[in-house]
Amino acid sequence: MDFWYRVSKLVVGTYLTAFVKRIHVLGKENLLPGPKIIMANHPNLTDGFVLPFIFPDKLHFIIQADAFDIPIIRFLLRKADQIPLMRGRGQEALRVALDRLSAGNGVVVFPEGRLNHGKQLLRGRLGAALLAQASGAPILPVGFFVRPEDTRMIVRRIKDRISKACYQIRGVCYVNIGKPWNVPQLTSDKLHPTKLRDLTAKIMHQIGDLASQAKKVALT
């Protein structure tokens, strides 16, 4: 594993040590080695921080490009080989993700495309299904849950816009890993948007169930 990925893990690990009491992982038997596409819900900005400490192989996150607006964050994300998703350039991000999968690494997709702040799961976008069909890599659904009282909404201005995000500031992060979806590589005549939407909707439903199960564990 390369130097800058280890550095990035050290940085987020410092945050986790300070603010997260424990990571409680359900479904450890579903952890997969090798290339995979991790699809997860996204209630808090800090959700993804825990994944590199659950999966031993290198992970590449597809991240909204505005996260790269902050110079120090941009430097670290680029050095750690994370994937910016720029408006109108989704195909470019998918091509980079395919390269990373072919190298044997994992790719992380938050298919909602934005934070749901712990509310209802948003409609999933089709990128992960496209990646799975193009690469043959399995999709691994993941559900996150953190008690609302263990998070804090932080509002800040980035350039000319207001950004709102929930951060975990204490307590336990519950992560529930589901069974993998093995999506066969399909020929171009079968890449119909309806098929992609149906597949995405089914996986999003499972992600919602996984998050609900994690919530039940957290509240018992």
CATH 3.40.1130.10 at 3-219, yes or no: yes
Counting Cβ atoms within 10 Å, is residue 93 exposed (0-12), middle (13-18) or buried (19+)? buried
Any residues with CB less than 8 A from the CB of 112 and at least 6 apart, and which?
Answer: 41, 42, 121, 122, 123, 124, 125
Q: Highest mean pLDDT: which of 19-28, 79-88, 154-163?
A: 19-28
Percent of the chain with pLDDT over 70: 92
What's the pLDDT band for 188 if we cut at 50, 70, 90?
A: low
Lowest-pLDDT range of 16-30, 131-145, 146-160: 146-160
Any residues with CB less than 8 A from the CB of 216 and at least 6 apart, and which?
Answer: none
Tell me how far apart the alpha carbons of residues 152 and 14 are, in angstroms, rounded to a whole number. Answer: 18
pTM for the whole structure: 0.92
- Report whether pLDDT(69) > 60: yes
Tell me how far apart the alpha carbons of residues 176 and 40 are, in angstroms, rounded to a whole number. Answer: 10
Average pLDDT, the chain: 90
- pLDDT, greater one: 163 or 125: 125
